[in-house]
Structure 1
Amino acid sequence: MSVAQFFEGKNIFITGGTGFMGKILIEKLLRSCPGTGKIYVLLRSKRGRSVEERLKQLLDGEVFDKIRENNPDALDKIIGIGGNVAELNLGLSDSDRQLLVDNVNIIYHSAASVRFDDFLDESILMNIRGTREIAQLALDLKNPTILVHVSTAYCNGDRYEVDEKLYPPHGDWRDAILLAETCDKELIHIMSEKYIYPHVNTYTFAKGLAEHVITDMCKGKIQTIITRPSIVINALDEPIAGWNDNLNGPMSLMLAAAKGLLRTSLTKLDLKLNYIPVDLVIKAIILATYDNYTESNCNEVEVYNITQPVINLTHLPFSTLARSIVIDLPVPNVLWYPRLSSTSCYYNYYLQAIFYQMLPAIFFDIFLKLMGKKTMVVKIQRKLYISTVILTPFTMQNFTFKNDKMINILKKLRETNPDFDFRIKLSHEELYKFLIDMKNGTVKYTMKESMDPTGQTEKKHLQRLKIIDIILKIILVCLSCWLLLFKFNTIEWSLNQVYNHFQKL
């Protein structure tokens, strides 16, 4: 039985279906497993848009272009279900819950708040209690096949070598839910840092406990797996090379560096990049779903680290290669000539952030204010600084993730399921092309910016910025020399005055 045959006729419920990974999961299932039954997607009203409007927005996305071209009727399988993971009973109506209980066979729980600076109570309600509600729904299904929980490779943040297994929890998930539901919010905020220790943020703390929710509730009762992707980035090949629709993770920093906003970073120069393209993550999750159900039983909850980096570079050569690309093929609307220095010394980073980023940002905003335009550069720099500081625990420490299960599944199933095969490592030429696709995909699909097809407009603009950058540096050097010379002459004059005074005495 192939992967496509396994999914034939099975109805699927997905949380987080409108998210970065969720869209690719839906698209891959519809395109590579055409016999899949209905796909129910949990949707909540957001920014004044109803569930129906959000479903239409999802289906209109460019990520489904291939399906619209080759099998447009497949999109009719996607059904929006009103609800919210952060609410009790997932915010489902009685009729919708019964619909899911009667029809769903497979659940993919990928909805989560991925913000590292969420308040503790919000993170608990979304990532821990929401997982409890999903587990309860899975247990109530009339014809369950498997529950797939999407966690993160960093949910054991106090461990720098992570195996494919469940580690002891840092707390009790039942107590955490009770705390978030009943305790005073201000008190929770005050005690947050101590409560989540040794985790460094509420996200990894909550995702770590969520794994124990799944295990405690589902082990021995329903087939269940936990998947742990590392840092998920743009699509490598499918459905669109370089596709991305959000600026979570490293993409916001990469784009800021390409536009000349980010001038310095705080990181180990030999940091291993645990980046993995989103289409490879989804392929691995689907393969793990198939293999676990056909090979295992519900007495164990298997953990899969989906962490094999296709980018076999550390931070310094990667950033050097990326900078060469944005110089040769610049992005539109560059604010300043791209230069990025990296340091592992916090004090050095802090000084560079002040002089290379914040002070120029103040001058830019003054200029915008005088031009009668909206000021924004200081605000952007503040966000970049906060992001850098929040990510420090992950950029200043190397993590090693064992992923034998993922590699073994790929070796075992790649020949019989070519549509789910993927590359483990990229050659230098493949990596160079992927970085170009990442840049173009982020500009086109995330920033919604248009580029000159020839690239000449962006190159001319970047060349002008380079000349301005050189002129300002020359002025700065001359000014510094003048100040030093002036200071030296002042000191020399003062010494002569003192000497003459003593001569008169």
Structure 2
Amino acid sequence: MEPGTINHFFRNQTVFITGGTGFLGKLMIEKLLRVNQIQKIFILVRAKRNKSSEERFQDLFDYPCFDNLKKERPDFKEKIVFVSGDCELSNLGMSQQSQEMLIDETDVVIHAAANVKFDQPLRLGANINVRSTKEVLALAKLMPRLKALVYVSTAYSNCPNNRIEECFYKAPISWQNLLSTVDALDDDTLEKITPELLGEWPNCYTFTKSVAEDLIRTEAKNLPAVIVRPAIVTSTIEEPMPGWTDNFYGVAGIVLGAALGVLRSVNAKKDAIAQLVPCDYTVNAILAAAWNVATERKNTKDHFKNSVSATSSQVKIYNYVGTSTNQITWKTYMELIESCAWDYPSTKLLWYYCFTLRENELWHKTCVFFLHTVVAYLADFVLLCIRRKPLAVTNYARMDRLLNLTSYFAKRNWKFPHDNVDQLWGKMCEEDRKVYKFDMSQTNWANYIENCVIGGRLYLLKDPLETIPEGRKWLKTLQIAHYSLLGVLFFLLYLLFKWVFSSIL
């Protein structure tokens, strides 16, 4: 490989990753260990859901995304150091010993920890998305070996703007005021004033990410820092296997809900651009950004030795949103999903596929009432009759609430200039473009979406491809039941209208 390339940069480096147990984090760890001769990776892990931080760390490598790594580098765990902590707490919840170890040994920091849920409480979002960033920066300032710090934001951090440049925007509130507010108020009071605080921002996630970016702007001026803003991160396109994902959040949840026959309507603009970026490409862009800022900082120091310019820098921002020459609309995306749903039906189907994107909000809400709410009450009635716990109404209510938050992004088009991303790609040598590919100008959307559907079936539903024939039989049965039920309903409506009109006449 050519000298000065990305693998050369990461060789013998120590990387500290927050958010290592998340979707992006898992793939980042896998990539660094599989293709690089890095020295060490520090992974911050917190306790969660009756599991200690150490138990969660041990479980991390059971995910299928690490299967290739285990075969190619069976000794990979020797390079991983578990650090117990919590991004919601001061000093990231770490011991003094852990802090000193990180300060002394870290070369690269990748701060990817975040709560990405749209319905998260403001306190949680402020602590994980803002306070943790403050604590990471405080640590980074003490690291004598630091060469690069990457903050992973979101392309929608400044979503009230129709055009989002690769630059900083005015935050809705200063990070100091936000943290002071959540520390001073109880949960009930904070919940009441949250809508007023959010203002034009649609949810606490984008709101707190905007504030966190402002924190980077003010507190990371003399650090080798960059911000990467991915758009909607979806299943892998190539590595470590096509179509891998580990969660039901966002688009993955909508696709599976529709494919399983549970979700039947989403309020969206059909010709709006679906700003989807594969998770593995996003990881590659992040690692390339780390290499670039370190290279630029080194060149600047070499050129301006003993100069103020050697220690000052402007934080560069990368809008990683795919490409403007090979985009896909939500309409086309869902049409491709529907065709794949017929090819790879799951045995876990709950009902026949009858999903539709609806642009008219009133019509969408009407359909939600009849196709979600009424169906949920009927399902719970059946569950009560067979002495089972009713759960459909609660689950549908939560799903519809999340869909309302998601619709904000499916009904609008944004302009995302990405000159910095294009320049980064242009700086990379041919070998790096193969190993750290993130250019989407040649992406075959049909193939990618097919792999996403297969991946959802395999990794989320745990339904192997061998059951496809069984799934097709079940789909056919549900199709007959669906149209039979529709026929009965239309016949009953016909009788009702006939009775009404005969009474009037």
TM-score, reference length from structure 2: 0.93
How far residue 32 of structure 1 moved from its aligned partner, in angstroms, is 1.5
Summarize the alignment of residues 286-301 of structure 1 with structure 2, pairs less than 5 Å apart. 286-296=287-297, 298-301=312-315
C-alpha distance in 2 between matches for 1:19 and 1:2: 27
- Matched with 2:146 is 144
- Matched with 1:444 is 458
Does structure 1 residue 255 correspond to structure 2 residue 256?
Answer: yes
How far residue 358 of structure 1 moved from its aligned partner, in angstroms, is 1.5
C-alpha distance in 2 between matches for 1:171 and 1:458: 51
- Matched with 1:390 is 405
Q: Deviations over 1:298-334 (max 9, x none)?
A: 5110000111159722111221221121023212311
- Matched with 2:308 is none
- Judged with a 3 Å threshold, the aligned counterparts in structure 2 of structure 1 residues 407 and 363 are, in CA distance, closer, same or farther, namely same
% identity of equivalent residues: 29
Summarize the alignment of residues 33-72 of structure 1 with structure 2, pairs less than 5 Å apart. 33=36, 35-72=37-74
Aligned residues: 487
- Of residues 357, 360, 371, the one that matches 2:386 is 371
- Matched with 1:456 is 469
Summarize the alignment of residues 110-189 of structure 1 with structure 2, pairs less than 5 Å apart. 110-189=112-191
Q: Deviations over 1:373-405 (max 9, x none)?
A: 343322221122101111232122111211121
How far residue 368 of structure 1 moved from its aligned partner, in angstroms, is 2.5
- Of residues 34, 40, 43, the one that matches 1:31 is 34
Alpha carbons 1:162, 1:402 under 8 Å: kept:
yes
Does structure 1 residue 336 correspond to structure 2 residue 339?
Answer: no
C-alpha distance in 1 between matches for 2:183 and 2:492: 60
Does the residue aligned with 1:140 lie in a helix, a strand or coil? Answer: coil
Does the residue aligned with 1:369 lie in a helix, a strand or coil? Answer: helix
C-alpha distance in 2 between matches for 1:40 and 1:339: 46
Summarize the alignment of residues 231-270 of structure 1 with structure 2, pairs less than 5 Å apart. 231-270=232-271
Q: Deviations over 1:272-306 (max 9, x none)?
A: 10011000100111111112221245511000011
- Matched with 1:495 is none
Summarize the alignment of residues 297-446 of structure 1 with structure 2, pairs less than 5 Å apart. 298-308=312-322, 312-417=327-432, 418-426=434-442, 430-446=444-460
Name the amino acid aligned to 2:278.
Answer: P
Alpha carbons 1:414, 1:420 under 8 Å: kept:
no
C-alpha distance in 1 between matches for 2:382 and 2:188: 40
Greater shift in the superposed pair: 145-154 or 178-187: 178-187
Alpha carbons 1:9, 1:36 under 8 Å: kept:
yes
Does the residue aligned with 2:43 lie in a helix, a strand or coil? Answer: strand
- Judged with a 3 Å threshold, the aligned counterparts in structure 2 of structure 1 residues 415 and 452 are, in CA distance, closer, same or farther, namely closer
C-alpha distance in 2 between matches for 1:348 and 1:162: 31
Name the amino acid aligned to 2:440.
Answer: I
- Of residues 88, 107, 110, the one that matches 1:108 is 110
How far residue 176 of structure 1 moved from its aligned partner, in angstroms, is 1.2
How far residue 198 of structure 1 moved from its aligned partner, in angstroms, is 2.3
Does the residue aligned with 2:16 lie in a helix, a strand or coil? Answer: strand
C-alpha distance in 2 between matches for 1:26 and 1:217: 27
C-alpha distance in 1 between matches for 2:467 and 2:142: 57
Name the amino acid aligned to 1:278.
Answer: C
C-alpha distance in 2 between matches for 1:434 and 1:363: 37
Alpha carbons 1:312, 1:426 under 8 Å: kept:
no
C-alpha distance in 2 between matches for 1:379 and 1:43: 31
C-alpha distance in 2 between matches for 1:171 and 1:61: 39
Alpha carbons 1:225, 1:301 under 8 Å: kept:
yes
C-alpha distance in 1 between matches for 2:442 and 2:356: 26
C-alpha distance in 2 between matches for 1:150 and 1:353: 35
Task: Find runs of 4+ consecutive structure 1 residues off by over 6 angstroms.
Answer: none
- Matched with 2:502 is 489
Q: Deviations over 1:442-466 (max 9, x none)?
A: 222223x223515110000000111
Greater shift in the superposed pair: 415-424 or 202-211: 415-424
- Judged with a 3 Å threshold, the aligned counterparts in structure 2 of structure 1 residues 384 and 185 are, in CA distance, closer, same or farther, namely closer
Name the amino acid aligned to 1:230.
Answer: A
- Matched with 1:81 is 83
Does structure 1 residue 206 correspond to structure 2 residue 208?
Answer: yes
Name the amino acid aligned to 1:6.
Answer: F
Does structure 1 residue 12 correspond to structure 2 residue 32?
Answer: no
Q: Deviations over 1:147-189 (max 9, x none)?
A: 1100111100211111111112222111111111123332222
Structure 2 gap ranges (5+): 301-311
RMSD over aligned CA atoms reads 1.6
Structure 1 gap ranges (5+): 493-505
How far residue 125 of structure 1 moved from its aligned partner, in angstroms, is 1.6
C-alpha distance in 2 between matches for 1:421 and 1:189: 43
- Matched with 1:480 is 493
Does the residue aligned with 1:161 lie in a helix, a strand or coil? Answer: coil
Greater shift in the superposed pair: 394-403 or 364-373: 364-373
Give the greater-gyration-radius structure (CA).
1
C-alpha distance in 1 between matches for 2:492 and 2:177: 62
Does the residue aligned with 1:47 lie in a helix, a strand or coil? Answer: coil
Q: Deviations over 1:436-494 (max 9, x none)?
A: 221221222223x22351511000000011111111111122222222222222222xx
C-alpha distance in 2 between matches for 1:59 and 1:321: 32
- Judged with a 3 Å threshold, the aligned counterparts in structure 2 of structure 1 residues 252 and 406 are, in CA distance, closer, same or farther, namely same
C-alpha distance in 1 between matches for 2:332 and 2:437: 28
